[in-house]
Copies of this chain bind each other. A is one copy, B any other.
Amino acid sequence: MKIDSIDFFYLSMPVVEDIGDGSQDALLVRVAAGGHVGYGECEAAPLPSIAALICPMSHSACKPVQSSVLGAKLDTPADIRRIGDQVRANSLDLLQAEHTLSGIDMALWDLLGRKLGEPAWKLLGWARAFPKTPYSSVLFGDTPQQTLEKARAARAKGFHAAKFGWGPFGHGSVQADEEQLAAAREGLGQDGVLLVDAGTVWNTDVERARRVLPALQRVHAAWLEEPFVSGALDEYRALSLDSGEVGLAGGEGSHNFFMARHMIDHAGLKYVQIDAGRIGGISVAKDVADYAAAKGVTYVNHTFTSHLALSASLQPYAGLQAHEICEYPAEPKQLALDITRDHLLPDGNGQVNVPERQGLGMEVNLEGLRPYLVDTEIRVKGRTFYRTPQL
């Protein structure tokens, strides 16, 4: 087959709030080849990602992403990897390109899986897909009382594990953080798995982060995620030396294999979190999963949006039985739920199963997305470079 078309759909809730909730908009990708269609999703700012797809060439290493994809041969998994390599070479100086590529790469695995009648994880080389233990991923409440209620709600929904992040955490006093943590633990119960996401709030301030460690240890948090910005390797490592039972987690900001490798090699991580919608897609995420497993670091998906993105995020480590935790978007906006007709609901054991169906195994609900479609047009030199395609 040859790749015939790439369509990017910018979707959004009617109102986007100034909160740490990445499910308020979405960039859905549709790729067609040889009469087959595949879908993916960039976890990225939609407009700059669209611009990276279609912009005029600046020079030989700064080309629009589509120039390396349209017309390319697609018959085998190796073809998908070659396309990714082409994008990285031809768009080397186009920073946004790796976010744009991510959704395309997912769509290629979905498409090829449908063509070959196999789930994507099988094409990736896994013999079987092991179920994952989902954690409910929610924002801290504005008050400890709200956090307490959110934690109770997570338990009531059957989640054994829950992650609290962003919101006021880390922005105020250490005492305020302690009260939030205590509320989360109380609501979750003593036997629940409590995960905490600082959302890079301390930037590179190791001392400030260190002051929260005693409270994290007191509530037996299993991990502290993103105390610092991605890439602050020395700061991560310094904190890891004092964090005891609280493992450090990070890596979601990685937008290529190397950044994830550096986090694994140099940051003292216990968990590496990879967003397949940012790192260049399922292909690169799979490489990171293999590398993490070899280095004794636990791979975890990073997913905060739709069940299409969730399925894609599970494929890279579907076959790693011991890497069993998975992020599960627990309070996404309606848009994220409406992207697919089917959803990856926890089974009777409270576990999430990677679909056994072809490709990513999810049915995109195009008609249902009409109300969310953001009409967008980009014109350069009087010519239309992008216009929102028909759903």
Contacts and interface: CB of A to CB of B under 8 A. Distances in A.
Contacts of A52: 45, 48, 96
A219 to B, nearest CB: 25
A56 to B, nearest CB: 7
Which of A43, A47, A88, A93 has the most C-beta atoms of chain B within 10 angstroms of its own C-beta? A47
A335 B46 CA distance: 31
B61 A199 contact: yes
Contact of A22 (B22, B47, B62): B62
Contact of A61 (B20, B47, B59, B381): B20
Nearest to A200: B92
B89 A95 contact: no
A62 B382 CA distance: 30
Interface string A295-329: 00000000000000000000000000000000000
B21 A59 contact: yes
A60 B16 CA distance: 9
A48 to B, nearest CB: 4
Contacts of A375: 379-382
A59 B16 contact: yes
Nearest to A21: B59
A253 interface: yes
A262 interface: yes
Given A46-B58, A377-B378, A380-B374, A255 B95 contact: yes
A232 B378 CA distance: 35
A353 interface: no
A178 interface: no
A60 B376 contact: no
Given A19-B60, A56-B16, A57-B16, A380 B47 contact: yes
A18 interface: yes
A95 B92 contact: no
Contacts of A255: 95
B253 A232 contact: no
B203 A232 contact: no
A159 B90 CA distance: 31
A10 to B, nearest CB: 8
Contacts of A258: 229-233
Contact of A378 (B47, B56, B262, B266): B47
A7 interface: no
Contact of A376 (B45, B229, B379): B379
A256 interface: yes
Contacts of A182: none
Interface in A128-186: 166
A16 B88 contact: no
Interface of A: 12, 16-22, 24-25, 43-48, 50-52, 54-62, 85, 88-89, 92-96, 98-99, 166, 199-200, 203, 229-233, 253, 255-256, 258-259, 262, 266, 278, 374-382, 385
